[in-house]
Structure formats: C-alpha cells, structure tokens
Amino acid sequence: MIKRVRFHGRGGQGMKTASRIVGTASFLEEFFVQDCPLYGAERRGAPMVAFTRLSKEPIFERGIITSPDINMIADETLLGDKSANVFQGTWEGTITIVNTHYPASHVRNVYGVVGEIVTLDITEIALNVIGESVLSSTAAAVVCKLTGMITESSLEKAVIKELSSINLKKELIEKNLQAALTCFDRIPETHPHYFEPIKEDKMDEIVKLEYADPRIGTPSVYAKGNTRLKKTGNWRLFRPVIDHEKCSRCRTCFVYCPHSCISIDEGDYPQIDYENCKGCLTCFYECPKKVISKDHEVRAW
C-alpha cells in the first residue's frame, strides 16, 4: 500500500520540514519512503509544495505528486489561489486536510472538494502550545495519523530528529512535540477513507511539436510589466491600511515600498495596490505619522 502525501504551504511555514517529519516517521516504521520539496522561483512567502511517499512495497515513483492520497493544505489563503492549484489531481480517494477553523462542510460548499475533507485549526494549536505559527510538526502529526500507518512513538522520534537537525532549541522542540501529539490525538483513529486507493491514471497523449517562428520559439517576453498578473496579494498575512484622514501625504510609505505597491493619487494621497501588496509592512513601520494599521488578512472566503 502506498500513500502519497502532498503538502501545500507558503515558504517559511514549515511544510518542507513537515514532509521530512512524515518521511522520517515512515522510515522509523521501516517503510519504503521518499520525501522532497519543490522549489519554484518564488522566495519566502510564496506558495510552495512538498511531498512524502510511504509504502510497504518498493516505490516505483519519483518527483512531484500530481494526484495525492493525502492533501495537506496548511494555509487556507491558498484555497482561492489559482496559481497554487491546491486541488490539482484530487479524486474520490483523496483525503484533503485544511488548516482552518471552519468546518469541513463549509470548505466543501465553497470549493466543491472531491474526496474526503477534514479540517483542523492547527495554527491555533501551534499558537497556543508553541507560541508561534510554525506548522511543521503539527501538520506532520495530522498527516501521520491520517495515513493510518504511523505510530505515535515514531512521530515523536521523527519530530525530535528533524527539528534538532535544523538547530531548534530544546524548549522549542519540546513544545513542538506537545503540539504535534495534540494534533495526532485530534484526528480520529479510523476513517472511512483509510482504504487502499484504487485509481486509474488519466491518460495524457503524445503530440508532435512543430517549429515555431523564432519570435515565439525563444523564451522572450514582449509584454511590459506583466508580473502584475501574478497578483502577489495572496502572499500577505497582514494587510496595511492607511487612515487617509490622518495621513500627512509625506510619501514616506510610497518611497519605501519595495514592491511598487503604493501609488500617489490625484489628491496626493498614497493608495495601496492590494492585488499585489505582499504585506511586508515596511510602510506600516516607516510611516512617521503612524497612520497605517495592520489588519490580520481576511479569510480566503
């Protein structure tokens, strides 16, 4: 039996480590196992994925998992993000687990998820127990339980091993362990979908590439400034909000925005491009009048 786990998060949230904790725990169970992260062009804050495969038989697969058995969505803002494509290849046998305080039925209603869906507010658990929203050990614990193949003691050892390897302090590892075990307990022992998934690959087909005009056949970009289309606003955890009534129009925020997301309008007031603002909060800290506030980003729906 093979379980293919895909982790969706944002750079810095700990999904690479989560995939490794599950990998190590499976290794300790003496399964065949692979884990790997996928690096895109994006740096910290951008959507990323990581994978773990565990199996009782040798694994004849490698690389990205296009169709997961367990789909961990550690950041709910990714749900609505087309570029993150978190539901790619999910099917009736997939268990999707979303880190949110909403009930599963709500997620299903809004996103029409295929397969089983489980929700758990692991951020809250992390904040309560660890004190910061690092999700590596908690997300890993949820996944370990969902596989139905990993024991609590292997999870424990794996958390210690992986977190020590990234030089986390002892106290923090302790807290992570506690949070992980809390999550492990919160996921029920058995589940209707804990069965051997049966699935046929949807067949793609081979096409013949034709020669293209070199203007097209070379990686050149002719459009001006089209990174705008990337809409990096979804990287944001906090939203800067300007109180225009109190703003002195000094332009400090405009000058210091690294991402060209603040423009000056006709009335000489700064306006934030929320479609792209990454939420670095430089403007918030630099505003001399302190008239920019930061709001926890509204939920993805």
Point out which residues bind another protein (CB under 8 A).
12, 40-46, 209-215, 217-232, 235, 250-252, 254-261, 263-264, 273, 275-282, 284-286
Tell me if 98 contacts ligand SF4 by CB under 6 A.
Answer: no
Among residues 137, 281, 296, 298, which is the contact residue for ligand SF4, using CB under 6 A?
281
Tell me if 48 contacts ligand SF4 by CB under 6 A.
Answer: no
- The residues, any chain, with a CB within 8 Å of residue 142's CB and separated by 6 or more, are 72, 97, 120, 122, 183, 184, 186, 187
Q: Radius of gyration over alpha carbons of the chain, in Å?
A: 22
122-127: long-range contacts at Cβ-Cβ below 8 A with a sequence spacing of 24 or more? 122/74, 122/183, 123/99, 125/179, 125/182, 125/183, 125/186, 126/179
Tokens 């004190």 — which residue?
A: 131
Q: Could you tell me the end-to-end alpha-carbon distance of the chain, in angstroms, rounded to an integer?
A: 36
d(CA 10, CA 45): 5
Among another protein, ligand SF4, none, the one that 248 touches (CB under a kind-dependent 5 to 8 A) is ligand SF4
d(CA 8, CA 62): 18
Residue closer to another protein (CB basis): 62 or 215: 215
Q: How many CA atoms lie within 13 A of 225 on its CB side?
A: 4
Q: Where do the DSSP E strands lie in 2-131?
A: 2-10, 32-38, 47-55, 70-73, 95-99, 116-120
Tell me if 299 contacts ligand SF4 by CB under 6 A.
Answer: no
- For the four alpha carbons of 97, 99, 101 and 106, in that order, the dihedral sign comes to negative
Residue closer to another protein (CB basis): 189 or 208: 208
Nearest approach in angstroms of CB 230 to another protein is 4
Is the Cβ–Cβ distance between 176 and 136 less than 8 Å?
A: yes
Among ligand SF4, another protein, none, the one that 291 touches (CB under a kind-dependent 5 to 8 A) is ligand SF4
Among residues 249, 271, 297, 301, which is the contact residue for ligand SF4, using CB under 6 A?
249
Tell me if 180 contacts ligand SF4 by CB under 6 A.
Answer: no
Among ligand SF4, another protein, none, the one that 226 touches (CB under a kind-dependent 5 to 8 A) is another protein
Is the Cβ–Cβ distance between 155 and 183 less than 8 Å?
A: no
Nearest approach in angstroms of CB 293 to another protein is 13
Among ligand SF4, another protein, none, the one that 227 touches (CB under a kind-dependent 5 to 8 A) is another protein
Nearest approach in angstroms of CB 250 to ligand SF4 is 4
Q: Contacts with ligand SF4 in 7-46 (CB under 6 A)?
A: 43
Tokens of 193: 């979908």
Among ligand SF4, another protein, none, the one that 40 touches (CB under a kind-dependent 5 to 8 A) is another protein
Among residues 248, 263, 293, 295, which is the contact residue for ligand SF4, using CB under 6 A?
248
Nearest approach in angstroms of CB 228 to another protein is 5
Among residues 78, 95, 253, 300, which is the contact residue for ligand SF4, using CB under 6 A?
253
- 56 SS3 class: coil
The contact set with ligand SF4 (CB under 6 A) reads 43, 240, 242, 247-253, 257, 259, 261-262, 270, 272, 277-283, 287, 289, 291-292
